[in-house]
Chains A and B, each alone.
Chain A
Amino acid sequence: MTSPREAVAAVVDPEIRVVTIDELGILRSVDEDPATGRVVVTITPTYTGCPAMDVIRADIRRALAAAGHPDVEVRTVYSPAWSTDWISAGGRAKLAAAGIAPPGPVRREGAVPLSLAVRCPRCGSPETEQVSRFGSTACKALWRCRSCSEPFDHLKAL
């Protein structure tokens, strides 16, 4: 039987279907009560208004039911607030392979402001520019490559 943790970690993000909620850092914890078999899953939203949260909750329940764990509670926590720094190295590689430039490190207050070039996920050129800081979903911005002229999504640092 698949463990509750394995089942939940394999749930893919409904908006960016190449990465799992575990790789995105949305999944906080999975705990099974050995006496009752009840599974408590804790997740955190990327953005407060993220419309994918209801689908993610439903997908978690479905994945656990399929793995033989029908008794599920999904909790949503907001603190500490989600950060793009929580996206795993594997998750970043998958984003880039799907044409979505992964986020750079989040700027810390007090540090010297340093903007790193966003590399084009198609041709690798650092000659890129931001078209709009808001993109097709709350967590993405729209960029364009000046070398190959392709527009692309960039998961913005948060």
Chain B
Amino acid sequence: MTGPFDFTLRLGDDALIAAQRLGEWSTRAPEMEEDIALANIALDQLGAARLLLTYAGELEGAGRDEDALAYLRDDREFRNCLLVELPNGDFAVTMAKLLFLSAYQVPLYTALAGCADERLAAIGAKARKESAYHLDHASLWVRRLGDGTEESHRRMQAAVDEVWPYTHELFTPDPAAPVDPATLRADFDATVTAVLDEATLTLPQTSWTPAGGRDGVHTEHLSYLLAEMQVLHRAHPGARW
């Protein structure tokens, strides 16, 4: 059973961890325009995370604000999907992750925009416009790399093979949630299949479906990410700019 708090926390954690990972590309992207693009997408994810975590804190009613939720929880208390915490890998892995994340977030936020909860509906209506740009951007790159040179095709296919198993966790049915993730699967599959087809890429045949993020059971990568993200706040609690 999932109440509005758990649901909102999951979405907020997805966006927050995605933002932190994308931010790691700052000053390191393959070209300057891409550096700016990834930082912009990270900023959008961070914006959505702030709105969602602020609301999650209010729903919980225990006095935790966005900062308390972002900086003062350990890995077992985070509810993000495993997909967003995976290391960035090479540029192809980052684009595969962004394609799958945005192909999930666009129908998610669109459905949220029509849900009964006014706050979640407002956040969904705002965030879906931004996610549509993220999906466009990731789709362009996946097509360019997949349908590019022999080497770019090889690496893009390897990235899809590596990341794809982690997408199944996103659609674990939850009929009690404000938006049941299982209802987003068809839209996600249609988007991803169309992009991969055009990119001359294929989905891997594997029955491995890693999961656990929604229950706080994460890969070993998350605690390292949190250590870097939280160190300043934990070393100087309440510090102000």
Contacts of B47 in A (CB 8 A): 45, 47-50
Asked if A21 is at the interface (CB within 8 A of a chain B CB), the reply is no
CA of A79 to CA of B129, assembled, Å? 13
Contacts of A133 in B (CB 8 A): 37, 133, 136-137
Asked if A131 is at the interface (CB within 8 A of a chain B CB), the reply is yes
A49/B50 contact (C-beta < 8 A), A138-B43, A158-B129 known: yes
Say which residue of A50, A134, A138, A156 sits within 8 Å of B33 (CB atoms). Answer: A134
Contacts of A81 in B (CB 8 A): 122, 125-126, 129
Asked if B46 is at the interface (CB within 8 A of a chain A CB), the reply is yes
A47/B43 contact (C-beta < 8 A), A78-B51, A136-B36 known: yes
CA of A140 to CA of B122, assembled, Å? 23
- Give the A interface residue count (CB, 8 A): 22
Asked whether A49 lies within 8 Å of B48 as measured between CB atoms, the reply is yes
Asked whether A132 lies within 8 Å of B44 as measured between CB atoms, the reply is no
Asked if A99 is at the interface (CB within 8 A of a chain B CB), the reply is no
Contacts of A132 in B (CB 8 A): 33-34, 36-37
* Interchain residue pairs with CB less than 8 A apart (30): A47-B43, A48-B47, A48-B50, A48-B123, A48-B127, A49-B46, A49-B47, A49-B48, A49-B50, A79-B121, A79-B125, A81-B122, A81-B129, A131-B33, A132-B36, A133-B133, A133-B137, A134-B36, A134-B37, A134-B40, A134-B137, A135-B40, A136-B36, A138-B43, A138-B44, A142-B33, A142-B36, A156-B133, A158-B129, A158-B130
Asked if A51 is at the interface (CB within 8 A of a chain B CB), the reply is yes
Shortest CB-to-CB span from A155 to chain B, Å, is 13
Asked if B70 is at the interface (CB within 8 A of a chain A CB), the reply is no
Asked if B94 is at the interface (CB within 8 A of a chain A CB), the reply is no
CA of A47 to CA of B130, assembled, Å? 8
Shortest CB-to-CB span from A86 to chain B, Å, is 13
Mark interface residues in A37-56 (1 if CB within 8 Å of B CB, else 0): 00000000101111100000
Main secondary structure of the interface of A (DSSP, over half): loop
Contacts of A34 in B (CB 8 A): none
Chain B interface bracket (under 10, 10 to 19, 20 to 34, 35 or more)? 20 to 34
Asked if A113 is at the interface (CB within 8 A of a chain B CB), the reply is no
Residues 19-58 of B contacting A (Cβ, < 8 Å): 33-34, 36-37, 39-41, 43-48, 50-51
Contacts of A78 in B (CB 8 A): 51, 122-123, 125-126
- List the B residue with the shortest CB-CB distance to A48: B47
Asked if A90 is at the interface (CB within 8 A of a chain B CB), the reply is no
Asked if A80 is at the interface (CB within 8 A of a chain B CB), the reply is yes
Say which residue of B41, B48, B51, B125 sits within 8 Å of A134 (CB atoms). Answer: B41
Mark interface residues in B107-123 (1 if CB within 8 Å of A CB, else 0): 00000000000100111
In addition to A49-B44, A138-B40, 13 A-B residue pairs with Cβ atoms within 8 Å of each other are A49-B45, A49-B46, A78-B122, A78-B126, A79-B122, A79-B126, A81-B122, A81-B129, A82-B126, A133-B137, A134-B33, A134-B37, A134-B41
Contacts of B133 in A (CB 8 A): 133-134, 156
CA of A19 to CA of B125, assembled, Å? 26
Shortest CB-to-CB span from A14 to chain B, Å, is 15
Say which residue of A49, A79, A156 sits within 8 Å of B43 (CB atoms). Answer: A49
CA of A50 to CA of B51, assembled, Å? 12
Say which residue of A47, A82, A135, A142 sits within 8 Å of B44 (CB atoms). Answer: A47
Contacts of B136 in A (CB 8 A): 133
CA of A50 to CA of B127, assembled, Å? 12
Contacts of B33 in A (CB 8 A): 131-132, 134, 142
Shortest CB-to-CB span from B17 to chain A, Å, is 15
Shortest CB-to-CB span from B72 to chain A, Å, is 21
